[in-house]
Structure 1
Amino acid sequence: MDMEIKDFDKFSGFRINCTKDLVVKGSISAVVGMILGIMCSLIVNCTLVEVSLSKFFSMYFGILFIVVGLIIFWRLHANVTDEAENRRNQLMILAGLIVLSGILCLFFDRSWLFSLSPLSKVPIYCILGISISFALTFSLIDLINYLIGFIQGSITRPLIESVAQVYLILSFTITMGAIFGFIFGLLDVEDESSHHIRLALMKAENCCFPLGAVLGGIAGFGNEVFRQQSEAYKIENVTEFDDEV
Protein backbone atom coordinates (compact mmCIF):
# COMPACT_ATOMS: atom_id res chain seq x y z
CA MET A 1 0.00 0.00 0.00
CA ASP A 2 1.26 3.46 -0.87
CA MET A 3 1.70 5.85 1.96
CA GLU A 4 2.20 9.59 1.82
CA ILE A 5 5.27 10.55 3.83
CA LYS A 6 5.40 14.20 4.83
CA ASP A 7 8.25 16.09 6.43
CA PHE A 8 7.72 17.53 9.87
CA ASP A 9 7.17 21.10 8.74
CA LYS A 10 4.34 22.30 10.95
CA PHE A 11 4.09 23.08 14.63
CA SER A 12 0.93 20.99 14.99
CA GLY A 13 1.46 17.73 16.80
CA PHE A 14 4.74 19.01 18.19
CA ARG A 15 6.11 17.10 21.16
CA ILE A 16 9.43 17.16 22.96
CA ASN A 17 11.16 14.01 24.20
CA CYS A 18 13.69 15.26 26.74
CA THR A 19 16.61 12.87 26.26
CA LYS A 20 20.27 13.06 27.21
CA ASP A 21 21.16 13.47 23.54
CA LEU A 22 18.79 16.46 23.25
CA VAL A 23 20.20 18.09 26.38
CA VAL A 24 23.82 17.70 25.24
CA LYS A 25 23.31 18.69 21.60
CA GLY A 26 20.77 21.35 22.54
CA SER A 27 23.22 22.91 25.00
CA ILE A 28 25.96 22.96 22.36
CA SER A 29 23.55 24.48 19.84
CA ALA A 30 22.49 27.08 22.41
CA VAL A 31 26.11 28.10 23.06
CA VAL A 32 26.80 28.34 19.32
CA GLY A 33 23.58 30.34 18.93
CA MET A 34 24.66 32.72 21.69
CA ILE A 35 28.02 33.31 19.99
CA LEU A 36 26.32 33.91 16.64
CA GLY A 37 23.81 36.25 18.30
CA ILE A 38 26.61 38.34 19.84
CA MET A 39 28.49 38.39 16.52
CA CYS A 40 25.31 39.44 14.73
CA SER A 41 24.78 42.25 17.25
CA LEU A 42 28.34 43.56 16.79
CA ILE A 43 28.29 43.38 12.99
CA VAL A 44 24.81 44.92 12.64
CA ASN A 45 25.71 47.88 14.88
CA CYS A 46 29.07 48.50 13.19
CA THR A 47 27.47 48.23 9.75
CA LEU A 48 24.74 50.71 10.68
CA VAL A 49 27.40 53.18 11.87
CA GLU A 50 29.40 52.86 8.64
CA VAL A 51 26.31 53.14 6.44
CA SER A 52 25.22 56.27 8.34
CA LEU A 53 28.58 58.07 8.33
CA SER A 54 30.37 56.96 5.16
CA LYS A 55 29.05 57.63 1.66
CA PHE A 56 31.36 54.94 0.31
CA PHE A 57 30.00 52.26 2.66
CA SER A 58 26.40 53.33 2.10
CA MET A 59 26.92 52.94 -1.67
CA TYR A 60 28.77 49.65 -1.16
CA PHE A 61 26.08 48.10 1.05
CA GLY A 62 23.35 49.55 -1.16
CA ILE A 63 24.71 47.76 -4.23
CA LEU A 64 25.42 44.62 -2.18
CA PHE A 65 21.87 44.45 -0.78
CA ILE A 66 20.30 44.97 -4.20
CA VAL A 67 22.47 42.23 -5.75
CA VAL A 68 21.76 39.80 -2.87
CA GLY A 69 18.02 40.52 -3.05
CA LEU A 70 17.94 39.95 -6.82
CA ILE A 71 19.90 36.69 -6.44
CA ILE A 72 17.35 35.47 -3.87
CA PHE A 73 14.51 36.43 -6.25
CA TRP A 74 16.20 34.53 -9.07
CA ARG A 75 16.81 31.42 -6.95
CA LEU A 76 13.21 31.41 -5.70
CA HIS A 77 11.86 31.67 -9.26
CA ALA A 78 14.23 28.93 -10.45
CA ASN A 79 13.07 26.47 -7.76
CA VAL A 80 9.28 26.65 -7.83
CA THR A 81 7.41 23.76 -6.18
CA ASP A 82 3.84 23.57 -4.93
CA GLU A 83 4.93 22.25 -1.52
CA ALA A 84 7.25 25.19 -0.90
CA GLU A 85 4.90 27.90 -2.22
CA ASN A 86 4.07 29.34 1.20
CA ARG A 87 7.71 29.44 2.30
CA ARG A 88 8.66 30.88 -1.10
CA ASN A 89 6.23 33.77 -0.70
CA GLN A 90 7.66 34.65 2.71
CA LEU A 91 11.23 34.57 1.40
CA MET A 92 10.12 36.77 -1.53
CA ILE A 93 8.95 39.37 0.99
CA LEU A 94 12.31 39.25 2.75
CA ALA A 95 14.13 39.51 -0.58
CA GLY A 96 12.04 42.58 -1.40
CA LEU A 97 12.95 44.02 2.00
CA ILE A 98 16.65 43.51 1.24
CA VAL A 99 16.28 45.30 -2.11
CA LEU A 100 14.45 48.14 -0.34
CA SER A 101 17.32 48.36 2.15
CA GLY A 102 19.75 48.63 -0.74
CA ILE A 103 17.76 51.49 -2.25
CA LEU A 104 17.67 53.26 1.13
CA CYS A 105 21.45 52.90 1.45
CA LEU A 106 22.00 54.38 -2.01
CA PHE A 107 20.00 57.48 -1.07
CA PHE A 108 21.49 57.83 2.41
CA ASP A 109 22.61 61.40 3.01
CA ARG A 110 24.20 62.38 6.30
CA SER A 111 22.71 65.90 6.44
CA TRP A 112 19.24 64.60 5.57
CA LEU A 113 19.54 61.73 8.05
CA PHE A 114 20.70 63.97 10.89
CA SER A 115 17.74 66.28 10.37
CA LEU A 116 15.30 63.50 11.29
CA SER A 117 14.12 62.86 14.83
CA PRO A 118 15.10 59.56 16.52
CA LEU A 119 11.55 58.21 16.12
CA SER A 120 11.65 58.99 12.39
CA LYS A 121 14.95 57.12 12.01
CA VAL A 122 13.81 54.03 13.89
CA PRO A 123 11.77 52.47 11.02
CA ILE A 124 14.66 53.03 8.59
CA TYR A 125 17.18 51.41 10.92
CA CYS A 126 14.78 48.57 11.72
CA ILE A 127 14.53 47.72 8.00
CA LEU A 128 18.31 47.92 7.62
CA GLY A 129 18.86 45.88 10.79
CA ILE A 130 16.51 43.11 9.60
CA SER A 131 18.21 42.96 6.18
CA ILE A 132 21.73 42.86 7.63
CA SER A 133 20.76 40.28 10.26
CA PHE A 134 18.97 38.08 7.70
CA ALA A 135 21.83 38.16 5.20
CA LEU A 136 24.45 37.59 7.90
CA THR A 137 22.63 34.76 9.70
CA PHE A 138 21.91 32.69 6.61
CA SER A 139 25.41 33.29 5.21
CA LEU A 140 26.88 31.96 8.47
CA ILE A 141 24.51 28.97 8.44
CA ASP A 142 25.47 28.15 4.83
CA LEU A 143 29.14 28.42 5.78
CA ILE A 144 28.69 26.15 8.82
CA ASN A 145 26.74 23.60 6.73
CA TYR A 146 29.53 23.63 4.14
CA LEU A 147 32.25 23.14 6.76
CA ILE A 148 30.34 20.32 8.50
CA GLY A 149 29.70 18.61 5.16
CA PHE A 150 33.35 19.03 4.15
CA ILE A 151 34.62 17.55 7.43
CA GLN A 152 32.08 14.74 7.93
CA GLY A 153 31.18 13.88 4.35
CA SER A 154 28.23 14.36 2.00
CA ILE A 155 25.83 12.24 4.11
CA THR A 156 25.76 14.81 6.93
CA ARG A 157 22.37 16.30 7.72
CA PRO A 158 22.25 20.10 7.40
CA LEU A 159 21.64 22.32 10.43
CA ILE A 160 18.35 23.52 8.96
CA GLU A 161 16.28 21.14 6.86
CA SER A 162 12.59 21.40 7.86
CA VAL A 163 10.15 24.24 7.34
CA ALA A 164 9.67 24.53 11.11
CA GLN A 165 13.39 25.20 11.52
CA VAL A 166 13.31 27.80 8.74
CA TYR A 167 10.38 29.59 10.39
CA LEU A 168 12.15 29.52 13.75
CA ILE A 169 15.40 31.00 12.44
CA LEU A 170 13.53 33.53 10.29
CA SER A 171 11.45 34.76 13.22
CA PHE A 172 14.46 35.12 15.54
CA THR A 173 16.57 36.74 12.80
CA ILE A 174 13.87 39.30 12.03
CA THR A 175 13.33 39.96 15.75
CA MET A 176 17.05 40.48 16.39
CA GLY A 177 17.53 42.77 13.40
CA ALA A 178 14.47 44.85 14.27
CA ILE A 179 15.55 45.21 17.93
CA PHE A 180 19.13 46.14 17.01
CA GLY A 181 17.91 48.72 14.50
CA PHE A 182 15.38 50.09 16.99
CA ILE A 183 18.02 50.53 19.72
CA PHE A 184 20.52 52.05 17.28
CA GLY A 185 18.02 54.60 15.98
CA LEU A 186 16.66 55.42 19.42
CA LEU A 187 20.12 56.04 20.92
CA ASP A 188 21.08 58.38 18.05
CA VAL A 189 24.48 56.72 17.70
CA GLU A 190 25.17 58.26 14.29
CA ASP A 191 24.36 61.78 15.52
CA GLU A 192 27.23 61.82 17.99
CA SER A 193 30.38 63.80 17.24
CA SER A 194 33.31 61.80 15.87
CA HIS A 195 35.11 61.42 19.22
CA HIS A 196 31.89 60.29 20.92
CA ILE A 197 30.89 57.76 18.26
CA ARG A 198 32.87 54.96 19.91
CA LEU A 199 31.26 55.61 23.30
CA ALA A 200 27.78 55.77 21.76
CA LEU A 201 28.44 52.55 19.83
CA MET A 202 29.63 50.83 23.02
CA LYS A 203 26.44 51.95 24.73
CA ALA A 204 24.34 50.46 21.93
CA GLU A 205 26.37 47.25 21.98
CA ASN A 206 25.97 46.92 25.76
CA CYS A 207 22.21 46.95 25.17
CA CYS A 208 22.32 44.62 22.17
CA PHE A 209 24.89 42.01 23.30
CA PRO A 210 22.70 40.45 26.04
CA LEU A 211 19.67 40.44 23.74
CA GLY A 212 21.69 38.84 20.95
CA ALA A 213 23.05 36.19 23.31
CA VAL A 214 19.62 35.33 24.75
CA LEU A 215 17.78 35.25 21.41
CA GLY A 216 20.63 33.36 19.73
CA GLY A 217 20.74 30.80 22.54
CA ILE A 218 16.98 30.19 22.39
CA ALA A 219 17.09 29.93 18.59
CA GLY A 220 20.02 27.49 18.72
CA PHE A 221 18.34 25.21 21.26
CA GLY A 222 14.99 25.41 19.46
CA ASN A 223 16.64 24.55 16.16
CA GLU A 224 18.13 21.39 17.67
CA VAL A 225 14.74 20.44 19.15
CA PHE A 226 13.06 20.76 15.73
CA ARG A 227 15.97 18.95 14.10
CA GLN A 228 15.59 15.91 16.36
CA GLN A 229 11.80 16.07 16.16
CA SER A 230 11.99 16.05 12.36
CA GLU A 231 14.28 13.02 12.43
CA ALA A 232 11.98 11.14 14.84
CA TYR A 233 8.95 12.02 12.68
CA LYS A 234 10.61 10.63 9.56
CA ILE A 235 11.69 7.43 11.34
CA GLU A 236 8.14 6.96 12.65
CA ASN A 237 6.67 7.32 9.16
CA VAL A 238 9.21 4.93 7.66
CA THR A 239 8.43 2.37 10.40
CA GLU A 240 4.69 2.64 9.73
CA PHE A 241 5.35 2.22 6.02
CA ASP A 242 7.43 -0.92 6.65
CA ASP A 243 4.66 -2.37 8.85
CA GLU A 244 2.06 -1.84 6.13
CA VAL A 245 4.29 -3.38 3.48
Structure 2
Amino acid sequence: MNLDCTGRQGALFACSTLVGGALGIVISMVVNLALIEISISPFFSMYFGVLFILVGCLILWRVLSHESPDPLQMKRLHLSIFAGTIILSGALCFLLDRKIFVGLAPWMKVPLYMTLGLAVAFALTFSIVDVLNYVIGFFQNSVAKPVVESSQQVFLVLIVSIAMGVVFGFTFGLLDVEDEEVYHMRVALMREEHYCYPMGILLGAISGFGNEYYRQKDDYAGYQAETSCVSV
Protein backbone atom coordinates (compact mmCIF):
# COMPACT_ATOMS: atom_id res chain seq x y z
CA MET A 1 0.00 0.00 0.00
CA ASN A 2 2.88 2.35 0.82
CA LEU A 3 4.45 1.57 -2.55
CA ASP A 4 1.19 2.38 -4.30
CA CYS A 5 0.90 5.64 -2.38
CA THR A 6 4.51 6.57 -3.15
CA GLY A 7 4.05 5.76 -6.84
CA ARG A 8 0.89 7.85 -6.96
CA GLN A 9 2.63 10.79 -5.30
CA GLY A 10 5.55 10.52 -7.73
CA ALA A 11 3.16 10.45 -10.69
CA LEU A 12 1.38 13.54 -9.38
CA PHE A 13 4.71 15.36 -8.96
CA ALA A 14 5.76 14.43 -12.51
CA CYS A 15 2.38 15.44 -13.97
CA SER A 16 2.34 18.76 -12.11
CA THR A 17 5.90 19.53 -13.19
CA LEU A 18 5.15 18.74 -16.86
CA VAL A 19 1.92 20.76 -16.84
CA GLY A 20 3.72 23.66 -15.15
CA GLY A 21 6.46 23.62 -17.80
CA ALA A 22 3.89 23.55 -20.60
CA LEU A 23 1.99 26.46 -19.07
CA GLY A 24 5.28 28.32 -18.74
CA ILE A 25 5.72 28.13 -22.52
CA VAL A 26 2.17 29.36 -23.09
CA ILE A 27 2.63 32.27 -20.67
CA SER A 28 5.94 33.19 -22.32
CA MET A 29 4.34 33.28 -25.77
CA VAL A 30 1.27 35.26 -24.65
CA VAL A 31 3.29 37.80 -22.64
CA ASN A 32 5.63 38.49 -25.58
CA LEU A 33 2.70 38.86 -28.01
CA ALA A 34 0.92 41.17 -25.55
CA LEU A 35 4.01 43.36 -25.22
CA ILE A 36 4.22 43.67 -29.00
CA GLU A 37 0.54 44.56 -29.33
CA ILE A 38 0.80 47.13 -26.53
CA SER A 39 3.78 48.70 -28.33
CA ILE A 40 2.27 48.93 -31.83
CA SER A 41 -1.53 48.96 -31.37
CA PRO A 42 -3.32 51.93 -29.74
CA PHE A 43 -6.44 49.78 -29.22
CA PHE A 44 -4.59 47.09 -27.28
CA SER A 45 -2.67 49.73 -25.34
CA MET A 46 -5.96 51.25 -24.17
CA TYR A 47 -7.50 47.81 -23.49
CA PHE A 48 -4.61 46.59 -21.35
CA GLY A 49 -4.29 49.98 -19.67
CA VAL A 50 -7.91 49.95 -18.49
CA LEU A 51 -7.65 46.27 -17.51
CA PHE A 52 -4.52 46.73 -15.40
CA ILE A 53 -5.85 49.82 -13.65
CA LEU A 54 -9.09 48.01 -12.75
CA VAL A 55 -7.25 44.90 -11.54
CA GLY A 56 -4.79 46.97 -9.51
CA CYS A 57 -7.56 49.03 -7.90
CA LEU A 58 -9.49 45.85 -7.10
CA ILE A 59 -6.47 44.25 -5.41
CA LEU A 60 -5.72 47.45 -3.49
CA TRP A 61 -9.34 47.77 -2.35
CA ARG A 62 -9.45 44.15 -1.14
CA VAL A 63 -6.14 44.53 0.72
CA LEU A 64 -7.11 47.78 2.44
CA SER A 65 -10.65 46.70 3.29
CA HIS A 66 -9.63 43.30 4.69
CA GLU A 67 -9.31 43.28 8.46
CA SER A 68 -6.24 41.33 9.60
CA PRO A 69 -4.18 40.90 12.77
CA ASP A 70 -0.85 42.69 13.24
CA PRO A 71 1.39 39.79 12.01
CA LEU A 72 -0.11 40.20 8.54
CA GLN A 73 0.63 43.92 8.21
CA MET A 74 3.85 43.25 6.28
CA LYS A 75 1.98 41.05 3.79
CA ARG A 76 -0.60 43.80 3.36
CA LEU A 77 2.20 46.26 2.65
CA HIS A 78 3.71 43.96 0.02
CA LEU A 79 0.33 43.40 -1.64
CA SER A 80 -0.36 47.14 -1.63
CA ILE A 81 2.97 47.81 -3.34
CA PHE A 82 2.20 45.10 -5.86
CA ALA A 83 -1.24 46.58 -6.55
CA GLY A 84 0.39 49.97 -7.08
CA THR A 85 2.77 48.37 -9.59
CA ILE A 86 -0.19 46.96 -11.53
CA ILE A 87 -1.83 50.39 -11.61
CA LEU A 88 1.45 51.90 -12.80
CA SER A 89 1.55 49.29 -15.57
CA GLY A 90 -1.88 50.43 -16.70
CA ALA A 91 -0.71 54.03 -16.84
CA LEU A 92 2.36 52.98 -18.84
CA CYS A 93 0.13 51.34 -21.44
CA PHE A 94 -1.29 54.76 -22.33
CA LEU A 95 2.19 56.28 -22.54
CA LEU A 96 4.04 53.46 -24.31
CA ASP A 97 3.83 54.58 -27.92
CA ARG A 98 6.22 52.97 -30.36
CA LYS A 99 6.81 56.30 -32.12
CA ILE A 100 7.88 57.90 -28.86
CA PHE A 101 10.07 55.11 -27.46
CA VAL A 102 11.64 53.87 -30.69
CA GLY A 103 15.40 54.26 -30.70
CA LEU A 104 15.74 54.75 -26.95
CA ALA A 105 18.59 52.98 -25.19
CA PRO A 106 17.69 49.56 -23.72
CA TRP A 107 18.40 50.71 -20.15
CA MET A 108 15.58 53.25 -20.53
CA LYS A 109 13.05 50.84 -22.04
CA VAL A 110 13.84 47.66 -20.12
CA PRO A 111 12.32 48.82 -16.77
CA LEU A 112 9.10 49.81 -18.57
CA TYR A 113 8.74 46.46 -20.29
CA MET A 114 9.66 44.60 -17.11
CA THR A 115 6.81 46.35 -15.31
CA LEU A 116 4.38 45.61 -18.14
CA GLY A 117 5.55 42.00 -18.39
CA LEU A 118 4.97 41.59 -14.66
CA ALA A 119 1.38 42.81 -14.97
CA VAL A 120 0.59 40.65 -18.02
CA ALA A 121 2.12 37.52 -16.49
CA PHE A 122 0.26 38.07 -13.21
CA ALA A 123 -3.14 38.53 -14.88
CA LEU A 124 -2.59 35.56 -17.21
CA THR A 125 -1.26 33.20 -14.52
CA PHE A 126 -4.08 33.72 -12.08
CA SER A 127 -6.64 33.50 -14.89
CA ILE A 128 -5.21 30.09 -15.82
CA VAL A 129 -5.31 29.03 -12.15
CA ASP A 130 -8.99 30.02 -11.88
CA VAL A 131 -9.82 28.10 -15.06
CA LEU A 132 -7.96 24.99 -13.83
CA ASN A 133 -9.74 25.12 -10.47
CA TYR A 134 -13.10 25.38 -12.24
CA VAL A 135 -12.41 22.61 -14.76
CA ILE A 136 -11.11 20.15 -12.17
CA GLY A 137 -14.05 20.90 -9.89
CA PHE A 138 -16.50 20.48 -12.78
CA PHE A 139 -15.31 16.97 -13.64
CA GLN A 140 -15.26 15.76 -10.03
CA ASN A 141 -18.28 13.95 -8.63
CA SER A 142 -17.63 15.10 -5.10
CA VAL A 143 -16.39 18.41 -3.76
CA ALA A 144 -12.88 18.76 -5.22
CA LYS A 145 -9.95 20.50 -3.63
CA PRO A 146 -8.79 23.42 -5.81
CA VAL A 147 -5.44 23.17 -7.58
CA VAL A 148 -4.25 26.31 -5.79
CA GLU A 149 -5.85 26.90 -2.41
CA SER A 150 -3.46 27.50 0.49
CA SER A 151 -1.64 30.76 1.14
CA GLN A 152 1.69 29.01 0.42
CA GLN A 153 0.48 27.93 -3.01
CA VAL A 154 -0.87 31.39 -3.83
CA PHE A 155 2.39 33.00 -2.71
CA LEU A 156 4.42 30.56 -4.83
CA VAL A 157 2.33 31.25 -7.93
CA LEU A 158 2.58 34.98 -7.28
CA ILE A 159 6.38 34.89 -6.99
CA VAL A 160 6.76 32.74 -10.12
CA SER A 161 4.41 34.95 -12.15
CA ILE A 162 6.38 38.04 -11.10
CA ALA A 163 9.66 36.32 -12.02
CA MET A 164 8.26 35.31 -15.42
CA GLY A 165 7.01 38.81 -16.19
CA VAL A 166 10.27 40.44 -15.16
CA VAL A 167 12.40 37.99 -17.17
CA PHE A 168 10.24 38.20 -20.30
CA GLY A 169 9.98 41.99 -20.12
CA PHE A 170 13.73 42.30 -19.59
CA THR A 171 14.47 40.11 -22.62
CA PHE A 172 11.88 41.90 -24.76
CA GLY A 173 13.29 45.36 -24.02
CA LEU A 174 16.92 44.28 -24.19
CA LEU A 175 16.55 42.74 -27.66
CA ASP A 176 14.62 45.77 -29.01
CA VAL A 177 11.86 43.61 -30.47
CA GLU A 178 9.45 46.56 -30.64
CA ASP A 179 11.94 48.62 -32.70
CA GLU A 180 11.94 46.20 -35.60
CA GLU A 181 9.97 46.84 -38.77
CA VAL A 182 6.69 44.98 -39.10
CA TYR A 183 8.04 42.45 -41.59
CA HIS A 184 11.08 41.79 -39.38
CA MET A 185 9.16 41.64 -36.10
CA ARG A 186 8.29 37.96 -36.46
CA VAL A 187 11.98 37.07 -36.81
CA ALA A 188 12.84 39.27 -33.81
CA LEU A 189 10.05 37.62 -31.79
CA MET A 190 11.35 34.15 -32.66
CA ARG A 191 14.83 35.21 -31.57
CA GLU A 192 13.49 36.46 -28.27
CA GLU A 193 11.38 33.35 -27.70
CA HIS A 194 14.56 31.31 -28.11
CA TYR A 195 15.70 32.82 -24.82
CA CYS A 196 12.31 33.05 -23.10
CA TYR A 197 11.01 29.51 -23.66
CA PRO A 198 13.69 27.79 -21.52
CA MET A 199 13.04 30.23 -18.67
CA GLY A 200 9.30 29.72 -19.03
CA ILE A 201 9.71 25.95 -18.87
CA LEU A 202 12.02 26.17 -15.84
CA LEU A 203 9.88 28.61 -13.85
CA GLY A 204 6.66 26.81 -14.80
CA ALA A 205 8.11 23.44 -13.77
CA ILE A 206 9.26 24.88 -10.43
CA SER A 207 5.79 26.31 -9.85
CA GLY A 208 4.08 23.02 -10.74
CA PHE A 209 6.38 20.96 -8.53
CA GLY A 210 6.14 23.39 -5.61
CA ASN A 211 2.36 23.63 -5.91
CA GLU A 212 2.01 19.84 -5.76
CA TYR A 213 4.43 19.71 -2.81
CA TYR A 214 2.31 22.14 -0.78
CA ARG A 215 -0.85 20.37 -1.90
CA GLN A 216 0.36 16.98 -0.65
CA LYS A 217 1.76 18.57 2.49
CA ASP A 218 -1.66 20.02 3.33
CA ASP A 219 -3.33 16.67 2.62
CA TYR A 220 -0.85 14.91 4.92
CA ALA A 221 -1.41 17.48 7.67
CA GLY A 222 -5.17 16.99 7.36
CA TYR A 223 -4.75 13.22 7.49
CA GLN A 224 -2.59 13.49 10.63
CA ALA A 225 -5.20 15.70 12.28
CA GLU A 226 -7.99 13.23 11.47
CA THR A 227 -5.89 10.34 12.81
CA SER A 228 -5.26 12.22 16.07
CA CYS A 229 -8.99 12.88 16.49
CA VAL A 230 -9.84 9.23 15.92
CA SER A 231 -7.18 8.14 18.42
CA VAL A 232 -8.58 10.44 21.07
Partner of 1:227 in structure 2? Answer: 215
Distance 2:63 2:135 in 1: 24
* Cα distance change on mapping 1:77 and 1:220 into 2, 3 Å: same
Cα drift, residue 194 of structure 1: 1.4
Partner of 1:210 in structure 2? Answer: 198
Cα drift, residue 154 of structure 1: 6.0
Q: 1:53 aligns with which of 40, 58, 73?
A: 40
Distance 1:233 1:90 in 2: 28
Distance 2:166 2:141 in 1: 37
Distance 2:102 2:18 in 1: 38
CA contact (8 A) 1:22 1:225 kept: no
Cα drift, residue 174 of structure 1: 1.0
Give the aligned residue type for 1:37: G
Partner of 1:131 in structure 2? Answer: 119
Distance 1:142 1:73 in 2: 20
Higher mean displacement: 148-157 or 25-34: 148-157
Number of equivalenced pairs: 227
Unaligned runs of 5+ in 2: none
Distance 1:235 1:89 in 2: 34
* Cα distance change on mapping 1:98 and 1:153 into 2, 3 Å: farther
Partner of 1:116 in structure 2? Answer: 104
* Cα distance change on mapping 1:211 and 1:95 into 2, 3 Å: same
SS of the residue corresponding to residue 139 of structure 2 reads: helix
Partner of 1:105 in structure 2? Answer: 93
Higher mean displacement: 128-137 or 150-159: 150-159
Distance 1:139 1:92 in 2: 20
Higher mean displacement: 56-65 or 152-161: 152-161
* Cα distance change on mapping 1:200 and 1:217 into 2, 3 Å: same
SS of the residue corresponding to residue 152 of structure 1 reads: coil
CA contact (8 A) 1:44 1:132 kept: yes
Deviation digits for residues 73-129 of structure 1, max 9, x if unmatched? 233345433376554443332222111100010122222211421111111111111
SS of the residue corresponding to residue 96 of structure 2 reads: coil
Unaligned runs of 5+ in 1: 1-17
Distance 2:211 2:77 in 1: 22
Higher mean displacement: 229-238 or 123-132: 229-238
Higher mean displacement: 201-210 or 38-47: 201-210
Partner of 1:81 in structure 2? Answer: 68
SS of the residue corresponding to residue 164 of structure 1 reads: helix
Query: Which structure 2 residues correspond to residues 1-245 of structure 1 after superposition, within 5 A?
Result: 19-82=6-69, 85-153=73-141, 155-243=143-231, 245=232
Deviation digits for residues 43-62 of structure 1, max 9, x if unmatched? 00000001111122111111
TM-score, structure 1 normalization: 0.86
CA contact (8 A) 1:22 1:224 kept: no
Give the aligned residue type for 2:224: E
TM-score, structure 2 normalization: 0.90
Distance 1:162 1:134 in 2: 18
Partner of 1:6 in structure 2? Answer: none
Q: Higher relative contact order by CA 8 Å / sep ≥ 6: 1 or 2?
A: 1
Distance 2:104 2:6 in 1: 53
Distance 1:155 1:79 in 2: 27
The structure whose residues are more often helix, as a share, is 2
Distance 1:35 1:68 in 2: 26
CA contact (8 A) 2:45 2:94 kept: yes
